[in-house]
Amino acid sequence: MIKSFFMISAISTSILFLAACTSEVQDDLLNYLNGDEMEELAQMEREIIDDYDTIATSTMEDSQAASFLDENVIAPYEEFYSALEEFDISTTDVQEVHDIYIEAAGYQLEGFFVLKDGLEASDFAIIEEGNELLAEGRALIDRYASEIETLADENNIELEEE
């Protein structure tokens, strides 16, 4: 049986532009957060995590859960991760924050692979290792959110949670 898992929430924000004049970083951050590409990625991640959450609340056997994880979480998360890596960013400041998100997604993806291995082996120790990787990814996502808020504040952009 699968032990408890946690769900990662994609950061989905809308931006209000408050400054009278703009900077390159401000423009890049606004494009990054408001662009269709980021919204599509956020939606993609939400759907993947919803599928992941299905496993945590299901009564699937371990082998069924491993197959479901492989097909419905890992495969699409690999696509998501690749899209994150290819995201076009103009400024170093925004790229540095985005790199935290890429690192977080890398931990998530690795955690999903380890969970799958643990489920296939019905080995709780391996499942726990996967959960630890997911927790590390979650911590990095929290750091990413904090860094986005800081960068927005520094560039006179007000974030509103949806």
> Cα torsion for 56, 57, 59, 64, to the nearest 10°?
-40
Per-residue pLDDT of the chain (162 residues; tens, 9 = 90+): 333 233 333 333 333 434 444 689 999 999 999 999 999 999 999 999 999 999 888 889 999 999 999 999 999 999 999 999 999 999 999 999 999 999 999 999 999 999 999 999 999 999 999 999 999 999 999 999 999 999 999 999 988 765
Task: Give the integer Cα–Cα distance in Å for 74 and 130.
Answer: 13
- What is this structure's pTM? 0.84
